[in-house]
Structure 1
Amino acid sequence: MSRTVTLVLVDCAGRPLGTLPAFDVPVPWWQDAAAVVAGARQAHGVEVTVLRLLAGQGSTPPGGQVSYLAEAAGPVGVPLRPVEVAGLAAHPLRAPYAEPGGPAASLAWATGQLDRLGRPATEVTQQRTWNLSAIWRLDGPHGTAWLKQVPAFFRHEAAVLRQLRDEPATPTLLADDGDGRMLLDHVPGEDRYGADTAERDATAADHHPLQVRAVRATDQLVAAGVPDLRGAALARWTRSALAPHAADGQLAGLDDRLDEVARCGLPDTLVHGDLHPGNVRGDGQRRTIIDWGDSFVGHPAFDILRLTERLPAEPTSALLAAWCARWRASVPGCRPERAVALLRPVAWLRMAAVYATFLAGIEPSERVYHADDVPDCLARAAAEAD
């Protein structure tokens, strides 16, 4: 599977220049900008920065025909077609990094921070851009760092990383600007999408002491801007986020269910919120849990439910049994098995609300990434409640 890419070019001030002839790139994922930048260079000799998705023509991610707005880094030496105006107008929900000049401003901030730290960057490479983040790699003689910029609904990630600065299984935050830009130290290894049961259990074991320690810091985390989804607050937030969607059936009885969860005796703590293997990097020696933008203060079972999502019954049972044993050892008298059973449909409801929040907070051209997620999660919530 590949992408056929069309780039609409603008200059650094946002003035339209024209449209490049389409070219193919081998990486199908629409948010992957590195392959698009390399493809424009190889096919047309043009240096660009990808700003944002304009349209997926007759398809949904991944693959297919995709068009982007891109900022040209200099003169363009190939003939351009006239620019179609649609998609170039300002939008109030557009991320700063999706505007002309936005990436340059963020890179200037990041390289300035690296200079201050004595780690000057000699090469920068755009890796990804979409509605949830823009990511750049910055290499220099003193190693690699990463610029990550996120929208408003993820800005608490920096506060979480500051709180976790002494935790061995989390990334190192080098700097942040309080407005969505973060400079992160390099994490060796690769994303562990294909992790087997043993590796998932090792991740859960790494995560457990972090959550136990974070129990004492919940009020501090909430004060720093981390979403408070404890008990009744989770029900209120879920209902609010899903109000534009047809979710009344799945929401029925939510408060009573959460009251019973509270009686199971597990403490509220810091929850990663998206603890699947792709958000773990490993090099064979250690694992690091990355991407804390979905984090919140709430019930710890949400993380093990995400980590076991879509697994067959046997490995799921083994992972849950180990997770429950850890919590019974840490909190004698608690009933983790009952809490997990009660929260199964709630976990899918929460994910539906997360995707609904994305849809409400991003401009229309980017919503294609999440268009099917809310109804899919609501259907799974209904199935788990049966």
Structure 2
Amino acid sequence: MSRVVTLVLVDPSGAVLGALPPYEVPMPWWQEVVDVVDGARQHYGVDVTVLRLLRTSRDRPHGGEVVYAAELHGPGTPSMVDADEADVASLTPHARRAPWAEAGGPGATTAWAADRLASRGRLVVRTVQQRTWNLSAIWRLETVSADGGAPGPVDIARDVVWIKQVPPFFAHEAAVLRWLGHALPGVAPELLAEQPPGRLLLAHVPGAGLYGAGAAARDELATIMHRIGVRAAPDLDTLLADGLPDLRAPRLADRIRAVLDTHAPGDPALTALADGLDARLAAVAECGVPDTLVHGDLHPGNAIVEHDTRVIIDWGDAFAGHPAFDILRLTEGMPEAPALIESWASRWRAAVPGCDPEHAVALLAPVAALRNAAVYAEFLDRIEPSEARFHAADVPFWLDAARALL
């Protein structure tokens, strides 16, 4: 699967210049833009920054024909065609548009990062746009010493840093990383600088993602999250004061009921679950496992591994709540799920004698699916409509998953 890309080009003021004729890129994932930028340079000799998705030929990710808005840089004058009128119309301002999705927005963010790095004695020599979509924008920066010294071949990895820019509803990620860096150094990326409400400058984490990891690797991640959970529980009020979302029982129940009222009104099974939600969550509390810092999207791809080092990334979905949500996410679709849950439970029984983690997991399984539906519903409420196709299928998917667990 690949993408056939069309770029609607704008100048730094946002004025429409025209469109580049379509070209194919190998990576199908709509939010990944390295090969989109490279393709514009290879096919048309121009430098661009991709701003945002405008439309696609498919109603859900990924692949197919994809149209993006992109900002043109430098003196290049590519051979362009007229932009589609509908694409031009979708470039008008929108209240929910991310700051990095506007002309000039990415440049302001990369300039901010360069200034922060200069204060640390580093000079940015190359900027690579990695990703842009409604949930984040990511750039890879290569740096050298500002005094003129260049890194050697062995040292190049430590001279890479990353910019991550997130929407306001993920802005608590900086506070979480700050806390983790103080409480448990090394379990998450180092936060080098931040600028509210969403700019983060992060140290490079060498290694590769654990996509497709087996049971043993997932159990290692669960062990790390257990350490984090035990350490974070007494500091939860501090994290909440710093902006960590509160999804403990009362607020979680309210959030789920609001989503069901909107997306599944009158559904008999889900209505029954909603009616019994307060009692179910009270029974979870009686199991004795404390609320703590929850990652919120603990799948193996959100861990970077090199040798014996495990670093958990992407803390934008983090919240205060029950740690069972992470083990349920980590074991989705795994034949070894019962053994992994038992291993997770044994650690909590050792940390909190007399607690009943297995019963908490059983009670929360359908609630976890509904929480996922609520997360995606919130995205749809807060992002620009043209990018809703990234998430539109997710709400019904997780509602169906909750029904299957009842």
Q: TM-score, normalised by structure 2?
A: 0.92
Amino acid at match of 2:343: A
- CA gap 1:242/1:97 in 2 versus in 1, 3 angstroms: farther
8 Å CA contact retained: 1:59, 1:65: no
Q: What secondary structure sits across from 2:354 in the alignment?
A: coil
8 Å CA contact retained: 1:6, 1:22: yes
Does structure 1 residue 112 correspond to structure 2 residue 115?
yes
Deviations along 1:3-38, whole A, 9 cap, x unmatched? 000000000000100000000000000000111000
Show the counterpart of 2:202: 184
Does structure 1 residue 352 correspond to structure 2 residue 373?
yes
Amino acid at match of 1:187: V
1:369 to 390, 393, 397: 390
Unaligned ranges ≥5, structure 2:
146-158
Within 5 A, what are the aligned runs for 1:181-330? 181-246=199-264, 249-250=269-270, 251-312=274-335, 315-330=336-351
Unaligned ranges ≥5, structure 1:
none
Show the counterpart of 2:57: 57
In structure 2, what is the Cα distance between the partners aligned to 1:242 and 1:360?
Answer: 14
Amino acid at match of 1:192: L
8 Å CA contact retained: 2:373, 2:394: yes
- How much identity, in percent, do the aligned residues show? 57
Show the counterpart of 2:24: 24
Deviation at 1:92, TM superposition (A): 0.3
In structure 2, what is the Cα distance between the partners aligned to 1:56 and 1:62?
Answer: 9
Does structure 1 residue 46 correspond to structure 2 residue 67?
no
Amino acid at match of 1:220: T
In structure 2, what is the Cα distance between the partners aligned to 1:104 and 1:21?
Answer: 25
Amino acid at match of 1:377: W
Deviations along 1:45-97, whole A, 9 cap, x unmatched? 11100000000124531110000000000234332112222211110000000
Deviation at 1:140, TM superposition (A): 1.1
In structure 1, what is the Cα distance between the partners aligned to 2:307 and 2:331?
Answer: 21
Show the counterpart of 1:147: 163
Amino acid at match of 2:166: V
In structure 2, what is the Cα distance between the partners aligned to 1:78 and 1:232?
Answer: 57
Amino acid at match of 2:202: L
8 Å CA contact retained: 1:352, 1:374: yes
Within 5 A, what are the aligned runs for 1:100-139? 100-139=103-142
8 Å CA contact retained: 1:56, 1:66: yes
- Number of residue equivalences: 383
Deviation at 1:118, TM superposition (A): 1.7
Deviation at 1:242, TM superposition (A): 4.4
Deviations along 1:258-296, whole A, 9 cap, x unmatched? 011000001000000000001111112211000000000
In structure 1, what is the Cα distance between the partners aligned to 2:261 and 2:106?
Answer: 34
Q: What secondary structure sits across from 2:377 in the alignment?
A: helix
Amino acid at match of 2:329: R
Deviations along 1:225-263, whole A, 9 cap, x unmatched? 111111112111222344421155422311111011000
Amino acid at match of 1:72: L
Amino acid at match of 1:125: V
8 Å CA contact retained: 2:60, 2:393: no
2:355 to 334, 350, 354: 334
Q: What secondary structure sits across from 1:333 in the alignment?
A: coil
Q: TM-score, normalised by structure 1?
A: 0.97
Does structure 1 residue 175 correspond to structure 2 residue 193?
yes
Q: What secondary structure sits across from 1:244 in the alignment?
A: helix
Q: What secondary structure sits across from 1:304 in the alignment?
A: helix
In structure 1, what is the Cα distance between the partners aligned to 2:134 and 2:275?
Answer: 31
8 Å CA contact retained: 1:10, 1:17: yes
Show the counterpart of 2:180: 164
Amino acid at match of 1:197: A
In structure 2, what is the Cα distance between the partners aligned to 1:321 and 1:233?
Answer: 28
In structure 2, what is the Cα distance between the partners aligned to 1:138 and 1:161?
Answer: 20
8 Å CA contact retained: 1:7, 1:67: yes
Moved more, 268-277 or 73-82: 73-82
In structure 2, what is the Cα distance between the partners aligned to 1:26 and 1:266?
Answer: 46
